[in-house]
Structure 1
Amino acid sequence: MRIFDPHIHMTSRTTDDYERMAAAGVRALVEPAFWLGQPRTNVGSFLDYFDSLVGWEPFRAGQFGIRHHATIALNPKEANDPRCRDVLKELPRYLEKDGVVAVGEIGYDSMTPAEDEVFAAQLALAVEHDLPALVHTPHRDKARGTERTLAVVAESGIDPGRVLVDHLNEVTVELVRDSGCWLGFSIYPETKMSPPRMVELLRRYGTERMLVNSAADWGRSDPLLTRATGDAMRAAGFDDDEVDRVLWRNPVEFYGQSGRLDLAEAAGAAPTFEGNSILRGGS
């Protein structure tokens, strides 16, 4: 089973997670820029974080043969903080980086006027830079938030086939399916979606434009739940081609629209990164 995790926050994970993921079949991933849990107080802290997404994390993933890509954006939660708004001015130079395959995560957290403005501005950046967009739907009032999301996407003029609307569930799947956007589902141990629930949605709606991710942030999460979902699909009678479509070909097709995916087999990375040795003891 080959796995492309289309949304996973490896900044919050350990090196052991990379090793376990590689053993489970993960060969490529996309790490979206997101809220780190602690409010950032200045633009410089975002720039250091963006630099790590396009430099350090690809290096760290490469140690285990995993291809790492990123999406870059001002996330919805911090769009409400005036100290962070100048991040928008810095995004264009990052959206030209080779490993950046979309603008994201963008969208809504609390559905404020500030989020409206920043969401629309970043969809415009996606159009300007000819990139797909990864959209976060709010954790609260999800149906209304998804409807509002799709309205803003429609107003932006971006091709809906270049938009991935994520964190969906049974309540929101039909809204997004009918919009022409791609559908993303985060699989978690206790919240969001589970492998059995995901299998039921795939039975009902099919595998077209459906993506499964582990998100795996700083809360209770599991970076192997993409693999668990693939195993659950097989146990439910889905064939290997259907599993491969959901776990590999769909994310490749969506992010491939960026023209920047590198899926060549990773040969491993050198033992140092900008003077930071990750091989201890002289080995």
Structure 2
Amino acid sequence: MRIFDPHIHMTSRTTDDYVAMHEAGVRALVEPSFWLGQPRTSPATFFDYFDSLLGWEPFRAAQHGIAHHCTLALNPKEANDPRCTPVLAELPRYLVKDRVVAVGEIGYDSMTPAEDHALAAQLQLAADHDLPALVHTPHRDKARGVARTLDVLRESALAPERVVLDHLNETTVAAATDNGVWLGFSIYPDTKMDEDRMVAILREYGRDIMDRVLVNSAADWGKSDPLKTRRTGLAMLAAGFTEDDVDRILWRNPVAFYGQSGRLELDAEKPAEGTFEGNSILRGGS
């Protein structure tokens, strides 16, 4: 089983997770920029974070045969903090970087006017840079948030096939399907979706959505599991889906979506051990 996790926050994970992911079949991933849990106090902290997603994390992933890509953005939660919003003016210099395969996570958290502005501005940045967009749907009042998101998308310059609406569930999949966007599902131990619910959605909607579904672990600093992608693949097989179906969902679909950036580098061969800025993941060198 080959796996491309299209949304996982490896900054929050250990090197042991990289080892387990490779053993489970993960060969590529996308790490979206997100809220770190502790509020940032200036734009400069974003720039250091972006640099780590472009430097240290690809280096760390490569030691375990996993191709690392990222998406960059001002996330919805921090779009409400005036200390952070100057990041919008600086994003263009980062969006031209190799391995930046989309603008994201953007979207809604609390559905405020500040979030309206940040979403519209960053959808325009995606269009200007010929990049797809990874759009976060709110965890509260999700149906209303998806409807509002779709309204903004229709007014944007970005085509629906260049957008993935993430964190969907049973209440929102129909609306997203009708609007032609890609459908993202986060598989979590206790919240969001689990693998059995994901299989039930695939059974209900079948071929109408199979070519547009992205399944991710969204693993971060909370209770989450970076192997939920594999567990979903196994649940699909147990439910009668074919190996080709699993490969489509867990590999070919994320390659197709993020491939629209023209920046995927899927060579997952492990390089020789080295250092990054003088630091080795071996905590002491070879």
1:234 equivalenced with 2:237 (yes/no): yes
1:224 equivalenced with 2:227 (yes/no): yes
| In structure 2, C-alpha distance between the alignment counterparts of 1:105 and 1:281, rounded to whole Å | 35
Residue 141 of structure 1 aligns with which residue?
Answer: 141
| C-alpha distance 269-190 of structure 1, shift in aligned 2 (>3 A) | farther
| In structure 2, C-alpha distance between the alignment counterparts of 1:59 and 1:77, rounded to whole Å | 28
TM-score, scaled relative to structure 2? 0.97
| In structure 1, C-alpha distance between the alignment counterparts of 2:259 and 2:50, rounded to whole Å | 21
Residue 282 of structure 1 and its aligned partner are, at CA, apart by: 4.5
| In structure 2, C-alpha distance between the alignment counterparts of 1:273 and 1:198, rounded to whole Å | 39
On the 8 A contact 1:62/1:267 being kept in 2, the answer is yes
Residue 243 of structure 1 and its aligned partner are, at CA, apart by: 0.3
Q: Which runs of 5+ in 1 are unaligned?
A: none
Residue 274 of structure 2 aligns with which residue?
Answer: 271
SS in 1 for 2:64: coil
TM-score, scaled relative to structure 1? 0.99
| In structure 1, C-alpha distance between the alignment counterparts of 2:50 and 2:283, rounded to whole Å | 26
On the 8 A contact 1:271/1:279 being kept in 2, the answer is no
Report the identity percentage: 74
| In structure 2, C-alpha distance between the alignment counterparts of 1:277 and 1:210, rounded to whole Å | 37
On the 8 A contact 1:230/1:247 being kept in 2, the answer is yes
| In structure 2, C-alpha distance between the alignment counterparts of 1:267 and 1:60, rounded to whole Å | 10
On the 8 A contact 2:28/2:268 being kept in 1, the answer is no
| In structure 2, C-alpha distance between the alignment counterparts of 1:242 and 1:167, rounded to whole Å | 21
CA root-mean-square deviation:
0.8
| In structure 1, C-alpha distance between the alignment counterparts of 2:5 and 2:222, rounded to whole Å | 18
Amino acid at match of 2:199: V
1:49 equivalenced with 2:52 (yes/no): no
1:45-88 CA deviation, whole Å, 9 max, x = no partner?
00000000010000000010000000000000000000001001
1:10-37 CA deviation, whole Å, 9 max, x = no partner?
0000000000000000000000000000
| In structure 2, C-alpha distance between the alignment counterparts of 1:92 and 1:149, rounded to whole Å | 23
| In structure 1, C-alpha distance between the alignment counterparts of 2:131 and 2:285, rounded to whole Å | 42
**Where has structure 1 moved over 4 Å in runs of 4 or more?**
none
Residue 90 of structure 1 and its aligned partner are, at CA, apart by: 1.1
